[in-house]
C-alpha cells in the first residue's frame, strides 16, 4: 500500500496566524467527494421529501377535517421509526413493518387508511422524488467554488450516476463537478470500498493516486477504500465537532486518526475542510 506523507504542508493565515495546509496544488491535483452525508444532508433531504409527499397526499382530503400539522406528523414518524427500526435487526420485512407502524401512528389523527398499499404508494413517491428534494450541507457551494480554482473536483458514489448528475445540476453544483467526473457504482459494476471504482475515477481524471484526496463520511467505504488505492483521504465526521473520541488526537491542524501508517484528518464540516487546502 502507498502511504502518502501527511507532512507536506502549505502555508496560510487564520485570524492573523500562520495555518498549515495539508494539501496544496503542487502535490494534490484532484479532490473526490462522496454524496450522501458528505455533500448532501440526507436527514434534511428525507424531511423535505417526506413533507412534500405528505402534503401531496393530504391534498386528496379536506384539511379542515382535522388539525393538520405536517411537521408534527414527520416528527412523530421519525420518533416511532427510530424505536421500531432499532428492534428490526436489519431484517427487511421488519423494517417494512416499522415504516407502516410509524406512518400509522403519525397519521392516527387524520382520515388516512394506512394499509400496505398506502405505505407502498407513499414511499414509492418518496423514492421517485428524493433527488428533487436533496438539500446540501451549509457551505458546500462556497467550498466547491474555492477548491475548483485549484483542483479537479469529482464525485465517487455508490448509486446512480444519472441521479447524482441531476442532483448536482439542480443544486447548481455541476459547474464545479461536471458530469464526466461523476463516478458511480451503477456504471462501473463495483461499489465502494472496492478499489476498481476509485481507480476508474483516477484514470478518467488523469491523476495519480498520490495526487488525489477522497472526502467522505464512511470510514469503511470512503476512507479505507481510497487509502487502499494509495489515495489520501479526509474523514467528514460531523460528530467530531462535538469533541474528540477514543483513538483521535487534536493538534494545531485538527483531529486526526490513523489507518496503518497513514494519517487521516477529521473535519466536522465544509469550513474546516476548506482550511486543509491551499486554494491560491
pLDDT digits (tens, 9 = 90+) for 131-188: 899 999 999 999 999 999 999 999 999 989 999 999 999 999 999 999 999 999 987 7
Q: Are residues 48 and 32 in the same domain?
A: no
State the average pLDDT over residues 117-137. 95
Q: Does some domain include residue 238? A: yes
- Residues 222 and 162 placed together within one structural domain of the fold: yes
- The reply to whether 176 and 259 lie within a common domain is yes
- Does 121 lie in the same domain as 94? yes
Please name which of 43, 6, 41 lies closest in space to residue 23, comparing C-alpha atoms: 6
Helix axes 92-106, 116-129, angle to 10 degrees: 100
> Domain holding 205: CATH number?
3.40.50.1000
Q: What is the pLDDT of residue 226?
A: 97
**Residue 116 reports pLDDT greater than 80:** yes
Tell me whether residue 5 is in a domain: no
> How many domains does the structure of the chain reveal?
2
pTM: 0.85
Same domain, 183 and 269: yes
* Domain membership of residue 152 as a residue range: 10-41+136-274
Q: Are residues 119 and 255 in the same domain?
A: no
Q: What angle do CA 238, 239, 245 make, to 5 degrees?
A: 135
Amino acid at each position: 500500500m502507498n502511504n502518502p506523507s501527511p507532512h507536506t504542508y502549505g502555508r496560510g493565515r487564520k485570524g492573523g496566524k500562520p495555518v498549515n495546509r495539508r494539501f496544496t496544488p503542487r502535490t494534490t491535483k484532484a479532490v473526490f467527494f462522496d454524496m450522501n452525508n458528505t455533500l448532501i444532508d440526507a436527514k434534511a433531504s428525507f424531511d423535505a421529501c417526506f413533507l412534500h409527499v405528505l402534503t401531496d397526499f393530504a391534498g386528496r382530503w379536506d384539511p379542515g377535517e382535522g388539525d393538520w400539522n405536517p411537521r408534527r406528523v414527520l416528527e412523530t414518524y421519525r420518533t416511532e421509526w427510530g424505536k421500531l427500526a432499532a428492534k428490526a435487526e436489519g431484517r427487511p420485512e421488519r423494517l417494512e413493518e416499522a415504516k407502516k407502524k410509524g406512518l400509522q401512528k403519525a397519521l392516527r389523527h387524520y382520515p388516512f387508511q394506512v394499509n400496505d398499499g398506502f405505505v407502498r404508494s407513499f414511499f414509492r413517491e418518496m423514492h421517485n422524488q428524493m433527488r428533487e428534494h436533496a438539500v446540501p450541507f451549509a457551505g458546500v457551494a462556497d467550498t466547491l467554488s474555492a477548491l475548483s480554482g485549484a483542483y479537479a473536483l469529482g464525485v465517487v458514489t455508490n448509486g446512480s450516476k444519472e441521479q447524482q448528475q441531476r442532483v448536482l445540476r439542480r443544486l447548481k453544483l455541476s459547474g464545479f463537478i461536471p458530469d464526466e467526473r461523476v463516478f458511480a457504482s451503477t456504471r462501473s459494476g463495483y461499489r465502494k470500498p472496492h478499489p476498481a471504482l476509485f481507480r476508474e475515477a483516477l484514470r478518467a481524471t488523469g491523476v495519480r493516486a498520490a495526487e488525489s484526496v477522497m472526502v467522505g463520511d464512511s470510514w469503511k467505504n470512503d476512507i479505507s477504500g481510497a487509502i487502499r488505492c494509495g489515495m489520501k483521504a479526509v474523514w467528514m465526521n460531523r460528530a467530531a465537532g462535538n469533541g474528540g473520541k477514543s483513538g483521535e488526537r487534536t493538534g494545531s491542524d485538527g483531529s486526526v486518526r490513523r489507518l496503518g501508517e497513514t494519517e487521516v484528518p477529521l473535519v466536522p464540516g465544509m469550513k474546516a475542510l476548506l482550511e486543509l487546502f491551499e486554494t491560491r
